[in-house]
Amino acid sequence: MDASSSKHLHIEFKNVAVENRAKSLKEGRPIFDQQEQVHIKFVGDTRKELVAPAHEKCIRDPATNQWVSYAQLYHRHYDAFKSGEAAIGDGTPISELPFLTEARRAELRALHIHTAEALAQLEGANLSRLGMFGRELKEQAKTYIERAKESALESRLSAENASLRTQLEGLMAQVTAMQPGPYRGSATDPMPAINNPMTAQAVEQPDEPPPPSLFASWDVTALKAFIKERTGVAPKGQPGHDTLVRLAEDANTKEAA
C-alpha cells in the first residue's frame, strides 16, 4: 500500500473497447463495451506489461483485510486519468532534466522511464538496456535529485532567517520607541515641578513601585536574540526568564549610554 513501491512502475489507466462475446453471439455481430483498464509497465523493461480491469480486485489491505482494486491502490494515477491528465508518474518529469537531449528523452520514454526518480533507481538488466552510457545517466539523475533537495533546504533556511531578522528588527523598534526622551514642552508649558530643581523639594511624591520592565512580556527566544544583538554574545547555559530580563535591561542601558 506504500506509494513509494510504485516508483519502478509506469501506471496508466485507459478507456478501452472490449468485446462482449455473449452479446456478440446473441446479436450475430461484434458488440463492444467500454471498460476502464490499468496498464502497468515495468520501468526499463519493454517486455513486461500487466493489463487488468481498473476496478478488479488487486490485493487485500493489511489494515482492514478488505480487497482493494487497482483504481483504489493507485488512486493518484486513477484520479489523474479521470481528470484528463497525462500519465507521467510520481516525481520530476525527464523533460526537466537539463543533461538529457530530446533524442535521449525519447529513448527513455520508449523504455517507460518518465521521471528522474525512475531513472535514478534502475538496476541490473533494466539499467543495461540504456546502453554504454546508462550508468552515467543514472548517476546524473541521482546527483540532480540530491542537489535539488539541498537547494530546497537552503531556500527554506534562508526564508526562516529572513523572518527571524524581521521579527528582531520589529522588537528593537518597539524598544527604541519606549525609551524615555528629552522633555519637549513649549515655552508656555513649563516643566513639571518634579523636574524643576527650584521646586523639587516642595513636591512630595508618594512611594510607588517601580514600573514593570518593558522586557517582562518578551519570551525567552526574543530576549536571547535581543541580548546577542546588543552585546554580540549570546547568554550561556539555560538562564531563567527573570535573569534574561535583567540581562536585556543591562544591555539596553549600556547601548543607550
Residue 90 CB-density burial (10 A; 0-12 exposed, 13-18 middle, 19+ buried): middle
In this structure, are residues 53 and 117 in contact, taking their beta carbons and an 8 Å threshold?
no
Percent of the chain with pLDDT over 90: 7
Contacts of 223 (CB under 8 A, 6+ apart): 215, 241, 244, 245, 247, 248
- Domain shared by 102 and 121, yes or no: yes
pLDDT at 69 over 70: yes
Give the domain extent around 69.
1-90
- Domain end, chosen from 90, 105, 121, is at 90
- C-alpha grid cell for residue 158? 534562508
C-alpha 224/C-alpha 241 separation (Å) is 10
> In the structure grid, which three cell numbers stand for residue 143, read together?
546527483
Q: Judge whether 50 and 129 are in contact, CB under 8 Å.
A: no
Residue at a domain's end among 61, 90, 119: 90
Task: Output the nine-digit C-alpha cell for 249.
Answer: 535591561
Q: Going by C-beta distance under 8 Å and a sequence separation of 6 or more, which residues neighbour residue 191?
A: 183, 185
pLDDT in tens, 79-117: 888 887 655 556 788 888 888 888 888 888 888 788 888
With respect to residue 204, please indicate whether it lies within any of the assigned structural domains.
no
Euclidean distance between CA atoms 33 and 140, whole angstroms: 46
**Count of structural domains, the chain:** 3
- Where residue 53 falls among pLDDT bands split at 50, 70, 90? very high
b vs e for 189-211, b when ≥16 Cβ sit within 10 Å of the residue's Cβ?
eeeeeeeeeeeeeeeeeeeeeee
Where among 103, 134, 168 does a domain terminate? 168
Q: Which residue has the higher pLDDT, 202 or 49?
A: 49
Q: 85 with 8, same domain?
A: yes
User: Is the backbone of residue 232 left (phi > 0), alpha (psi -120 to 50) or beta?
Assistant: left
